[in-house]
A and B are shown apart, each in its own frame.
Chain A
Amino acid sequence: MNDQNLRPSLLYRMVAFFLWALFALNIGSIVWYYPEAPNWTYGDLFRISSLSLIIWATVCFFSAVVINFAGKYLIGFKYYKRFVLLALGFTGSVSLLVFANHVLIILVAWLGMGFFMSRLIGIDRRWGEAREASRYCQKHFLAGTLFLAIGLLMLSFELNQFTVTGIISSVGDIPYWLLLISALCIIIAAAIQSAMFPFHRWLLSAMTSPTPASALMHAGFVNGAGILLTLLAPLFFKSDTMTLLFFIGGITAIVAQFAKLIQVNIKQKLGCSTTAQMAFMIMQCGLGFFNAAVVHLILHGCYKAYLFLSSGEEIEHLSPKKPQRPSRTKWQTAFVFALGILGALFFAWITGKGLHLDGGIFLTLIVAITVGQAMENIIKRDEFSILKKLIIAPIFFLLSIGLYALMYNGTTIFMHDLPMIDYPESLSVLQIVFGVIFLIGFFIMKLGIYESFPWLYVKLINDSQPYKKTLLRYKKNIK
């Protein structure tokens, strides 16, 4: 018997080609326009801004990767063709979201994203749990759309303005109470989309979708919040809800990162990680760095798409005995601290973040700890040569900061057409408190104190369980 070495269908190859072409076109346009942003409008309906080009390029990239992957991976799947059409529908919806200027089109795009994503979650209609998961997620997405509709339409009817640009430019004319309610509704819509606590459960119940669809969800769909918040940035300044964003993000980031560590299924683990990363993105928004949030959503997309697509590599025969980890000498500790500070200074110098007493200090602090932590894990290993420890690794870390900064600066310059996306909040007590909580969290993790709080373990496990109807709900039998 001969193997049939099947290849992706023509449809997949065409769609992938189309998406890669669009991606190239968008990158080309960005390069062409840079550093000026395009400013093209079509009546009240559409506009192309810097954000449109950036998000188009991003979503085309992830969709193309996923379609390329799925074209081979899903061969033989009953809904093979349906998958590519739904993925295309989703890509179109995201693209429409950043293309739209009219509020109603934005709502349609938001609805479409949820519609296509929930269809992808339930793509295998033969499977009861998948149908349940699809329904459960669709409910969340509909609720999100509803909140978004309330938030946006309140502003529209108040101002009799149905374009986003129109609303944003006259945000100052709206009574505060209305502004606040509207901002709260939009924040809820964003929180649902990004699976913030307490709306996180849909994301952890969405693993019924084929792996490539999960990659698209975690690299694309959840980013909706970042896009929405960036588009409407001035609204949150004016309604004083920046601190709320920071708070929602901060709490979720810590809880989800802890929950991630106790997950025993790879996809749930990645799901918790996505929630934590999205929470961090929302924190960045709350600090006034919407530009940083956009960069974060792109980079996190690359990271999470990779991890989902390679999630089949988790099978491993480990030993239950924890190997002894070497301890640090004083000199090593000093070096780690020095490099952390150096990294932070370098970061502050090239991005300008952290030079003033504002939220940027917070982000710079994270850079310092990350570099320190990275260095610590290298320097105490005997296997690495002195050269690697003292020269190559530090240079590599600084290079990585440099690459990030390059992207961050580029994005910031390009996005200057959008109002108030790089407008750091001044340092507040809450930010300092969170900074301290982050540090405490860091030490709790390092020292493994969690084991003394079994109730916390069980609480986190229960809060990160999928919705009950989406697992072990059905049995197959003869009709």
Chain B
Amino acid sequence: MNYKFLNKVINEAAEVVGKTWPLYGFVTSNPLAGYEALPFFTALKKASPVFGGQTLPSGSVFRKAWQEKKIDEVILTNELNTVGIHSSIENTLQKMESVVFTDFPNDKHELDRLTVKWLSLFLDEGLAAWPMPFKDMGFYTSWRKLVVHDNDLMALARKNGHRLTTIPKTPEEALQEVLFDFEPEAFQEIFERHFAALPGWVGFIKYRVQNNSIWQQEYPISLLDYLAVRLWIASLIGAAIMSEEPTVVDFSDREIIKIQRCWLEAWEKSWQQRFFSEILKSSKRFDEFQTGPKNIIIGNNPNTKLKTGLAAQLVFCLDTRSERLRRILEQAGANTNVEDEPRYETFGSAGAFGIMMDYQHPETGMTYKSSPAVGASSYLVREKPVRDRQDAQKAYLKQGRKLSSYRYFLKRMKNILPSAFGYVEGSGLYYGAFLLLRLWSPNRAEHWLLKHKSGYEALYEPYITSAVPVISDRISSEVIANTKTGFSKTSAKIVLNPDLDEVSTLALYAHDFVGDKRAGSGGINQDKIEKEPSIIHSDNPLLQHHHHDVTSTIDDIGDDQKALIVKGTFDSCGWRSFAPLVVFTGHASKSANNPFASSLDCGACAGQPGKYNARTLAMLANNNNVRNILKKEYDIEIPKETFFIAAEHITSTDEVELFDQDIPASHLLLAAQLKKDLIWAQAQLTKERLNEPVNSSSIAKLKSNSWSESRPEWGLSGHKGYVIGPRSLTLKGEFSDCFMSSYDWAMDPDGNILKGIMQGPLVVVQWISNHYYFSTVDNQKFGGGSKIIHNITGKYGVVEGNGSDLKIGLPLQSVMKSDDEVYHDPIRISVLVQAPRRYIDQILKGDPKLKSLIEGGWILLFVMDPEQKNQIDAYKQMVQPL
């Protein structure tokens, strides 16, 4: 069999399932990402039988929305009539509710069970004290060496009249033998079915291969291995390689789907109607409120100076949870300032502030992706010790080693014979006491957990280098099945291949529009890779020993490029005048005993805190060389008085921590005032968010520390819209269900800034929104299922109960109020852009992929055209047959 052909078929077949990210770096991706080339409803139709799940909201969800008056009667009737349904609304509801889901015996039960048994043993990332033997030889080989001892499998084979013969040495040969009777044309369908049988596990293999995780480098697995093992077992136990019937029969009734679609679209349109009227009201109020243009300085004015009256500007990462904080902070100034002028101005930036970077943690030495997973990283940010705080830094690292020693001690005592028995008797009372402490006083218990009590931000400063990105999603299908060659090199080669220019479009959205010469090569300097092989192996934990002498080996990118990064942020925020204090506010969440904790962090950005990016940006913007270049080359003058700092918004408690250790004395008062205002804002914010009239701040804190809290916060649940436009559109209204990107079309004469936003943040928002949509419409299939029966597997994922498919999405407790009632409204994202229509036409002309997402209805795009009196128009979608 042709190896190349086989790989091609495997890669194409693998598109039927999504990618499963590990829970320590949760990514809210579209589970139907493989279907994005199709229009939305066509994709649903195709994916529904593959997954055997619901892809449209159920009758009871619509009924609830109807009762809560979320769906407008006129719009709904109109929708129904248009497609020729004239029965009553109640009647359509009843029809939808007549669809009942029930359990059917899984005809692949034994095959699934045996596959999962071996997969979970191999994929383990350190939960088992003793790893599977032969693991370093790769999945297929280690399985082959062990399975000869598997009496369970032998018994099933005997039942089927088979005996275990020699298993071929390579997975290709194994597949060849099993598929001997099949035509090559049938392969793709066979593979698709066997991938779709366990989408979660297969998705995780895809993750390991495409991202070439550190575990993958040590213990390689490929989709080819998976197929070889699964099909070999299947042929041995007599499970169908290709059953007569498709895996899941599509019982769904076209008539009911038609009704569901009408209801969905009516719901979306009803919300849009309200949304637009809110926007218009808000911007009208804003116009009335404005006495003069003194606070908005529009245009590329080289004379921009310090903005008068403002104490600070706060820039937030792309996230719905910042809206309340922004609104309340803006009021903070307005309410207390004698001149009744706002003290604070806020901006919404791109996700992760638009820096496509990886981050190397100074303590663990491990490298994390710290930017949206839709694109490859261009930079690697590391930390160097601040010169005069080396003692504190050493103490911090020592403390970390101590903590890890304690953890190791506990693990060791639990595991080893016969100490495990003595240990339980000696420590039982301590466990009992700590149990009560966690139950009754979570905040105090938190203090005793084996974690660092404070961050290291004051002890280190970030520095930025260019990096070979972890291979991007869009190109990685090339190497899905390939684990045999030296992987790091392979991926680097592919990234560098000038033919694959699509790599760059997403990777460099923060700055490619200013003409990065190396855009075609993904921003990678080939010489550097050859000279500095360690960059490629940035995951190498050995690097942690380097940070002592790191100053001598700093391999910075040029100041020009740094200036471009900073300019990118200013541009995309539509922002040119500066307050004395500018705060880049990243966000993260804190919750206890929560396997999905990272899904509440900077969600689309690989489940990492946003502070890494915020600190990097503040560091760059304070750099004098960068400021000089910005002034000389781009007419952006940052006043001497302006100082940049980073901060972190903890979204579960709404605390904001300022990383202000290096702040100059002149700014101390400002920072002190800001801190005071932030504490005040926290009280207001939690009161509104939690609906708690008193003590809301401490209730929020308790929730974040409580180990029995299954809903520490709602994350991005409830989001429905995305506003790309100036803050003036939204300032005088409440838009806590919207993402907001500060964008001013007047500052963007050629539409390049908008292009950056639409190709970056908008694509990310599409992923987030569809992740939430599918997790809500079928939490079992596309979400994580209920937390209460989760069983953590291998340190990276969860299964249900005794074992199941690996869960792929957000848990029930993140999107639903109860088992039966949704919290997140499952509708598609509506995006409002304030920009001339011609900008958008031009951008989409150059990006057919984005265009098909919009025309296909994965994103509902609306344009508020300032050249047409700000009239709001829907961007046309293609007609999708029912």
Contacts and interface: CB of A to CB of B under 8 A. Distances in A.
Interface stretch (B98-106, B462-470, B767-775): B98-106
Interface in A447-479: 448, 450-451, 454-455, 457-459, 461-462, 465-468, 470-479
A237 interface: no
Contacts of B424: 277, 296, 299-300, 303
A174 to B, nearest CB: 34
A180 interface: no
Interface string A1-42: 111111000000000000000000000000000000000000
Nearest to B594: A312
A409 interface: no
A6 B401 CA distance: 39
Nearest to A465: B117
Contacts of B788: 73-74, 77, 210-212
Contacts of B873: none
Nearest to A73: B708
Given A317-B24, A442-B417, 6 more contacts: A266-B793, A306-B431, A319-B541, A373-B419, A462-B152, A471-B116
A382 B757 CA distance: 51
Q: Taking each of A68, A263, A371, A467, which has the highest tally of chain B beta carbons within 10 Å of its own beta carbon?
A: A263
Interface string B614-651: 00000000000000000000000000000000000000
Given A72-B710, A315-B597, A397-B426, A266 B816 contact: no
Nearest to A374: B413
Contact of A264 (B124, B708, B813, B821): B124
Contact of B133 (A207, A451, A478): A451
Given A72-B706, A312-B595, A316-B795, A208 B802 contact: yes
Contacts of B109: 468, 472-473
A245 B788 CA distance: 36
B222 to A, nearest CB: 17
Contacts of B402: 383-384
B593 to A, nearest CB: 4
Given A296-B425, A454-B146, A472-B804, A76 B103 contact: no
17 contacts: A3-B714, A71-B708, A265-B792, A267-B791, A267-B792, A299-B432, A302-B435, A303-B428, A314-B595, A319-B214, A319-B364, A320-B214, A321-B541, A407-B429, A445-B416, A474-B104, A475-B105
Contacts of A373: 412-413, 416, 419
Q: How large is the interface on B (under 10, 10 to 19, 20 to 34, 35 or more residues)?
A: 35 or more
B14 to A, nearest CB: 21
Contacts of A477: 52, 101-102, 104, 248-249, 251
B667 interface: no
Closest 10 CB pairs of A and B: A299-B428, A370-B422, A302-B432, A76-B818, A466-B802, A458-B149, A471-B803, A208-B801, A128-B103, A317-B24
B130 interface: yes
A442 B416 contact: yes
A65 interface: yes
A366 B418 contact: yes
Contacts of B214: 319-320
Interface in A280-308: 280, 295-296, 298-303, 305-307
B151 interface: yes
A367 interface: yes
Interface of A: 1-6, 65, 68-78, 124, 127-130, 133, 204-205, 207-212, 253-254, 257-258, 260-269, 273, 276-277, 280, 295-296, 298-303, 305-307, 309-321, 366-367, 369-371, 373-374, 377-378, 381-384, 397, 400-401, 403-404, 407, 438, 441-442, 445-446, 448, 450-451, 454-455, 457-459, 461-462, 465-468, 470-479
A458 B146 contact: yes
B595 A210 contact: no
B173 interface: no
Given A1-B737, A72-B710, A208 B789 contact: yes
Contact of B101 (A124, A381, A478): A478
B106 A309 contact: no
A266 B422 contact: no
B391 interface: no
A472 B416 contact: no
Nearest to B253: A478
B104 A320 contact: no
A310 B593 contact: yes
Contact of B595 (A2, A298, A315, A451): A315
A446 to B, nearest CB: 7
Contacts of B787: 312
A133 B801 contact: yes
A468 B791 contact: no
Contacts of A267: 791-792
A330 to B, nearest CB: 22
B361 to A, nearest CB: 10
A306 B787 CA distance: 17
Interface in B140-172: 145-147, 149-152
B786 interface: yes
Interface of B: 22-25, 52-53, 99-106, 109-110, 112-113, 116-117, 120-121, 123-130, 132-134, 145-147, 149-152, 214-215, 217-219, 248-249, 251-252, 364-366, 368, 398, 401-402, 405, 408-409, 412-432, 434-436, 438-439, 541, 592-595, 597-598, 688-692, 699, 703, 706-711, 713-714, 718, 736-737, 780-781, 786-796, 799-805, 812-813, 816-821
A317 B539 CA distance: 12
Given A207-B791, A299-B428, A462-B152, A265 B127 contact: yes
Contacts of B413: 370, 373-374, 377
B112 A472 contact: yes
A416 to B, nearest CB: 21
Q: Taking each of B419, B597, B692, which has the highest tally of chain A beta carbons within 10 Å of its own beta carbon?
A: B419
Contacts of A312: 593-595, 707, 787, 790, 792
Contacts of A257: 415, 417, 420
A308 B690 CA distance: 29
Contacts of A264: 120-121, 123-124, 127-128, 793-794
Nearest to A280: B421
A91 B384 CA distance: 57
A73 B415 contact: no
A5 B2 CA distance: 59
Given A309-B708, A472-B803, A314 B795 contact: yes
A349 to B, nearest CB: 16
A370 B423 contact: yes
Given A76-B816, A478-B251, A5 B795 contact: no
A397 B425 CA distance: 12
A314 B707 contact: no
A476 B101 CA distance: 6
A75 B711 contact: yes
B25 A317 contact: yes
Nearest to B428: A299
A475 B248 contact: yes
B692 A466 contact: no
Contacts of B802: 129, 133, 204-205, 207-208, 268, 466-467, 470-471
Given A76-B817, A302-B429, A478 B100 contact: yes
A68 B364 CA distance: 36
Nearest to B432: A302
Given A303-B424, A320-B125, A466-B802, A5 B691 contact: yes
B112 A3 contact: no
A459 B148 CA distance: 11
Contacts of A374: 409, 413, 419, 423
B425 A299 contact: yes
Contacts of B100: 478-479
A445 B417 CA distance: 8
A377 to B, nearest CB: 5
A125 to B, nearest CB: 11
A72 B709 CA distance: 6
